[in-house]
Amino acid sequence: MQGKVVVITGASRGIGAAAARAFCGLGAKVALLARSEPEIAALAAELGEAAVALTCDVAEFDQVQAALAAVVARWGRLDVLINNAGVIDPIAHLATADPAEFARAVQINLNGVFYGMRAALPQMRAQGYGTIINISSGAATNPLEGWGGYCSTKAAALMLTRVGHLEEAAHGIRVLGLSPGTVATQMQVKIKASGVNPVSQLDPSVHIAPEWPAKTLVWMCTAAADAWLGRDVSLREDVVQRAVGLLA
Protein backbone atom coordinates (compact mmCIF):
# COMPACT_ATOMS: atom_id res chain seq x y z
CA MET A 1 0.00 0.00 0.00
CA GLN A 2 3.04 2.29 0.01
CA GLY A 3 2.04 5.52 -1.73
CA LYS A 4 -1.40 4.24 -2.76
CA VAL A 5 -4.32 6.69 -2.61
CA VAL A 6 -7.28 5.44 -0.56
CA VAL A 7 -10.66 7.14 -0.04
CA ILE A 8 -12.81 6.02 2.90
CA THR A 9 -16.38 7.21 3.46
CA GLY A 10 -17.82 7.20 6.96
CA ALA A 11 -14.26 7.63 8.19
CA SER A 12 -14.98 9.46 11.45
CA ARG A 13 -15.30 6.36 13.65
CA GLY A 14 -15.66 2.59 13.80
CA ILE A 15 -14.52 0.56 10.82
CA GLY A 16 -13.78 3.69 8.77
CA ALA A 17 -11.42 5.21 11.32
CA ALA A 18 -9.72 1.87 12.00
CA ALA A 19 -9.24 1.34 8.26
CA ALA A 20 -7.70 4.80 7.88
CA ARG A 21 -5.15 3.98 10.58
CA ALA A 22 -4.40 0.59 8.99
CA PHE A 23 -3.82 1.98 5.49
CA CYS A 24 -1.78 4.94 6.73
CA GLY A 25 0.30 2.57 8.84
CA LEU A 26 1.31 0.79 5.63
CA GLY A 27 2.32 3.98 3.82
CA ALA A 28 -0.88 4.85 1.98
CA LYS A 29 -2.30 8.33 1.47
CA VAL A 30 -5.82 8.42 2.88
CA ALA A 31 -8.75 10.77 2.28
CA LEU A 32 -11.22 10.76 5.17
CA LEU A 33 -14.80 11.51 4.11
CA ALA A 34 -17.64 12.08 6.59
CA ARG A 35 -20.27 14.63 7.58
CA SER A 36 -18.70 15.14 11.01
CA GLU A 37 -15.88 17.58 10.24
CA PRO A 38 -14.39 17.82 13.77
CA GLU A 39 -13.91 14.05 14.05
CA ILE A 40 -12.25 13.55 10.68
CA ALA A 41 -10.13 16.67 11.18
CA ALA A 42 -8.85 15.24 14.47
CA LEU A 43 -8.14 11.88 12.84
CA ALA A 44 -6.31 13.55 9.95
CA ALA A 45 -4.19 15.48 12.45
CA GLU A 46 -3.36 12.21 14.21
CA LEU A 47 -2.36 10.51 10.96
CA GLY A 48 -0.26 13.40 9.66
CA GLU A 49 0.55 14.59 6.16
CA ALA A 50 -0.57 11.33 4.56
CA ALA A 51 -4.20 12.06 5.47
CA VAL A 52 -6.72 14.71 4.43
CA ALA A 53 -10.19 15.34 5.88
CA LEU A 54 -12.97 16.19 3.43
CA THR A 55 -16.42 16.98 4.78
CA CYS A 56 -18.89 15.08 2.64
CA ASP A 57 -22.45 13.78 2.84
CA VAL A 58 -22.55 10.62 0.71
CA ALA A 59 -26.27 11.16 0.19
CA GLU A 60 -25.39 14.11 -2.08
CA PHE A 61 -23.74 13.15 -5.37
CA ASP A 62 -22.30 16.62 -5.98
CA GLN A 63 -20.46 16.44 -2.65
CA VAL A 64 -19.09 12.97 -3.36
CA GLN A 65 -17.95 13.94 -6.85
CA ALA A 66 -16.29 17.12 -5.54
CA ALA A 67 -14.49 15.22 -2.77
CA LEU A 68 -13.06 12.61 -5.14
CA ALA A 69 -12.05 15.32 -7.61
CA ALA A 70 -10.19 17.05 -4.77
CA VAL A 71 -8.38 13.80 -3.95
CA VAL A 72 -7.26 13.33 -7.57
CA ALA A 73 -6.20 16.99 -7.78
CA ARG A 74 -4.14 16.55 -4.61
CA TRP A 75 -2.50 13.18 -5.25
CA GLY A 76 -2.95 12.54 -8.98
CA ARG A 77 -4.86 9.27 -8.85
CA LEU A 78 -7.32 7.08 -6.95
CA ASP A 79 -6.29 3.53 -6.12
CA VAL A 80 -8.93 2.42 -3.61
CA LEU A 81 -12.45 3.53 -2.70
CA ILE A 82 -14.06 2.06 0.41
CA ASN A 83 -17.79 2.77 0.59
CA ASN A 84 -18.17 2.41 4.35
CA ALA A 85 -20.75 5.06 5.33
CA GLY A 86 -24.03 3.54 6.48
CA VAL A 87 -26.93 3.85 8.92
CA ILE A 88 -29.08 1.30 10.75
CA ASP A 89 -32.12 3.54 11.24
CA PRO A 90 -35.02 3.13 11.09
CA ILE A 91 -35.15 0.18 13.49
CA ALA A 92 -38.89 -0.41 13.18
CA HIS A 93 -41.46 -2.73 11.68
CA LEU A 94 -42.45 -1.87 8.12
CA ALA A 95 -45.95 -1.05 9.36
CA THR A 96 -44.66 1.73 11.61
CA ALA A 97 -41.33 2.80 10.10
CA ASP A 98 -40.93 6.52 9.48
CA PRO A 99 -40.96 7.07 5.69
CA ALA A 100 -38.46 9.92 5.93
CA GLU A 101 -36.00 7.77 7.90
CA PHE A 102 -36.45 4.92 5.43
CA ALA A 103 -35.75 7.28 2.53
CA ARG A 104 -32.64 8.54 4.32
CA ALA A 105 -31.41 4.94 4.69
CA VAL A 106 -31.82 4.48 0.95
CA GLN A 107 -29.95 7.73 0.28
CA ILE A 108 -26.97 6.72 2.43
CA ASN A 109 -26.77 2.92 2.25
CA LEU A 110 -27.68 2.52 -1.42
CA ASN A 111 -27.39 5.82 -3.27
CA GLY A 112 -24.25 6.68 -1.30
CA VAL A 113 -22.57 3.51 -2.56
CA PHE A 114 -23.65 4.21 -6.13
CA TYR A 115 -22.51 7.84 -5.88
CA GLY A 116 -19.07 6.72 -4.72
CA MET A 117 -18.78 4.21 -7.54
CA ARG A 118 -20.09 6.68 -10.11
CA ALA A 119 -17.59 9.33 -9.03
CA ALA A 120 -14.63 6.92 -8.88
CA LEU A 121 -15.11 4.77 -11.97
CA PRO A 122 -14.25 7.33 -14.69
CA GLN A 123 -10.93 8.06 -12.96
CA MET A 124 -10.20 4.37 -12.41
CA ARG A 125 -11.08 3.57 -16.03
CA ALA A 126 -8.71 6.28 -17.21
CA GLN A 127 -5.96 4.79 -15.02
CA GLY A 128 -6.75 1.23 -16.09
CA TYR A 129 -6.89 0.00 -12.49
CA GLY A 130 -8.52 0.50 -9.10
CA THR A 131 -10.27 -1.30 -6.26
CA ILE A 132 -13.75 -0.53 -4.93
CA ILE A 133 -14.89 -2.19 -1.71
CA ASN A 134 -18.47 -1.82 -0.51
CA ILE A 135 -19.11 -2.53 3.17
CA SER A 136 -21.90 -5.07 3.23
CA SER A 137 -23.62 -7.12 5.93
CA GLY A 138 -25.15 -10.51 6.60
CA ALA A 139 -28.38 -8.49 6.49
CA ALA A 140 -27.92 -8.25 2.72
CA THR A 141 -29.03 -11.87 2.40
CA ASN A 142 -30.89 -12.54 5.67
CA PRO A 143 -34.14 -10.75 6.64
CA LEU A 144 -34.25 -9.48 10.22
CA GLU A 145 -37.21 -8.13 12.15
CA GLY A 146 -37.20 -4.35 12.40
CA TRP A 147 -34.39 -3.94 9.89
CA GLY A 148 -36.44 -3.60 6.69
CA GLY A 149 -34.55 -0.49 5.62
CA TYR A 150 -31.11 -1.84 6.48
CA CYS A 151 -31.65 -5.31 5.00
CA SER A 152 -33.15 -4.02 1.76
CA THR A 153 -30.54 -1.32 1.17
CA LYS A 154 -27.66 -3.67 1.95
CA ALA A 155 -29.15 -6.26 -0.43
CA ALA A 156 -29.36 -3.62 -3.16
CA ALA A 157 -25.79 -2.49 -2.49
CA LEU A 158 -24.61 -6.10 -2.84
CA MET A 159 -26.15 -6.13 -6.31
CA LEU A 160 -24.17 -2.96 -7.12
CA THR A 161 -21.04 -4.91 -6.16
CA ARG A 162 -22.03 -7.75 -8.48
CA VAL A 163 -22.91 -5.45 -11.39
CA GLY A 164 -19.80 -3.38 -10.79
CA HIS A 165 -17.60 -6.44 -11.18
CA LEU A 166 -19.51 -7.56 -14.27
CA GLU A 167 -19.07 -4.19 -15.96
CA GLU A 168 -15.64 -3.11 -14.77
CA ALA A 169 -13.41 -6.19 -14.55
CA ALA A 170 -12.51 -5.75 -18.22
CA HIS A 171 -11.25 -2.25 -17.35
CA GLY A 172 -8.86 -3.55 -14.71
CA ILE A 173 -11.11 -2.49 -11.82
CA ARG A 174 -11.69 -4.82 -8.87
CA VAL A 175 -15.11 -4.56 -7.16
CA LEU A 176 -15.96 -6.61 -4.07
CA GLY A 177 -17.71 -6.32 -0.73
CA LEU A 178 -16.93 -6.98 2.92
CA SER A 179 -19.49 -8.51 5.27
CA PRO A 180 -17.71 -8.00 8.60
CA GLY A 181 -20.16 -9.62 11.01
CA THR A 182 -20.95 -7.81 14.25
CA VAL A 183 -18.34 -5.18 15.10
CA ALA A 184 -17.90 -3.28 18.36
CA THR A 185 -19.00 0.14 17.09
CA GLN A 186 -21.54 2.80 18.04
CA MET A 187 -24.03 1.12 15.70
CA GLN A 188 -24.02 -1.97 17.92
CA VAL A 189 -24.82 0.20 20.95
CA LYS A 190 -27.91 1.48 19.13
CA ILE A 191 -28.86 -2.05 18.06
CA LYS A 192 -28.49 -3.32 21.64
CA ALA A 193 -30.69 -0.54 22.99
CA SER A 194 -33.46 -1.32 20.47
CA GLY A 195 -34.09 -4.82 21.84
CA VAL A 196 -35.35 -5.84 18.39
CA ASN A 197 -34.38 -9.16 16.70
CA PRO A 198 -31.68 -11.62 17.82
CA VAL A 199 -28.76 -9.32 17.00
CA SER A 200 -29.77 -6.97 19.84
CA GLN A 201 -29.63 -9.91 22.26
CA LEU A 202 -25.97 -10.68 21.56
CA ASP A 203 -23.55 -10.17 24.40
CA PRO A 204 -21.16 -7.30 23.56
CA SER A 205 -18.22 -9.63 24.16
CA VAL A 206 -18.94 -11.49 20.91
CA HIS A 207 -18.44 -8.42 18.71
CA ILE A 208 -15.10 -8.19 16.94
CA ALA A 209 -12.86 -5.13 17.19
CA PRO A 210 -12.90 -2.66 14.25
CA GLU A 211 -9.25 -3.50 13.64
CA TRP A 212 -10.28 -6.92 12.26
CA PRO A 213 -12.30 -5.58 9.31
CA ALA A 214 -9.66 -2.85 8.86
CA LYS A 215 -6.94 -5.47 8.39
CA THR A 216 -9.27 -7.42 6.10
CA LEU A 217 -9.84 -4.35 3.92
CA VAL A 218 -6.08 -4.03 3.39
CA TRP A 219 -5.90 -7.71 2.42
CA MET A 220 -8.82 -7.26 0.02
CA CYS A 221 -6.79 -4.72 -1.94
CA THR A 222 -4.36 -7.48 -2.93
CA ALA A 223 -4.58 -10.27 -5.49
CA ALA A 224 -5.04 -12.72 -2.59
CA ALA A 225 -8.71 -11.68 -2.48
CA ASP A 226 -9.35 -12.01 -6.21
CA ALA A 227 -11.40 -15.18 -5.69
CA TRP A 228 -14.04 -12.98 -4.07
CA LEU A 229 -14.35 -10.39 -6.84
CA GLY A 230 -17.99 -9.51 -7.49
CA ARG A 231 -19.19 -10.84 -4.14
CA ASP A 232 -18.90 -10.36 -0.40
CA VAL A 233 -15.97 -11.50 1.69
CA SER A 234 -17.51 -12.81 4.93
CA LEU A 235 -15.35 -12.20 7.96
CA ARG A 236 -17.42 -14.80 9.82
CA GLU A 237 -15.71 -17.54 7.80
CA ASP A 238 -12.61 -19.18 9.28
CA VAL A 239 -11.03 -19.49 5.83
CA VAL A 240 -11.13 -15.71 5.46
CA GLN A 241 -9.84 -15.07 8.97
CA ARG A 242 -6.90 -17.37 8.32
CA ALA A 243 -6.16 -15.83 4.93
CA VAL A 244 -6.10 -12.36 6.48
CA GLY A 245 -3.88 -13.55 9.33
CA LEU A 246 -6.44 -13.09 12.10
CA LEU A 247 -6.31 -16.80 13.00
CA ALA A 248 -3.29 -19.07 13.08
Q: pLDDT tens for residues 76-113?
A: 999 999 999 999 999 999 999 999 999 999 999 999 99
pLDDT band at 205 (very low <50, low <70, confident <90, very high): confident
Nearest to 123 by CA among 59, 65, 54: 65
Average model confidence (pLDDT) across the chain? 96
pLDDT band at 206 (very low <50, low <70, confident <90, very high): confident
Number of domains in the chain: 1
Q: Which of 114, 115, 150, 228 is catalytic?
A: 150
Above 90 in pLDDT, residue 8? yes
What are phi and psi for residue 2, nearest 5 degrees?
Answer: -55, 120
**129 a catalytic residue:** no
Residue 226, C-beta contacts closer than 8 angstroms, at least 6 positions apart = 174
| CA-to-CA separations, 140 to 19, 70, 97, 146, 149, in angstroms, rounded | 22, 32, 19, 14, 11
Distant-in-sequence contacts of 223-230, Cβ < 8 A, 24+ apart: 225/176, 226/174, 228/176, 229/165, 229/169, 229/174, 229/175, 229/176, 230/161, 230/162, 230/164, 230/165, 230/166, 230/169, 230/175, 230/176
CATH number reported for the structural domain that contains residue 217 in this entry: 3.40.50.720
| C-alpha 171 chain-centroid distance | 22
pLDDT band at 190 (very low <50, low <70, confident <90, very high): confident
Query: Residue 35: which domain range?
Result: 5-244
**Tens-place pLDDT, residues 114-148:** 999 999 999 999 999 999 999 999 999 999 999 99
CA dihedral 241, 244, 246, 248 (to 10 degrees): 90
Query: Residue 118, SS3?
Result: helix
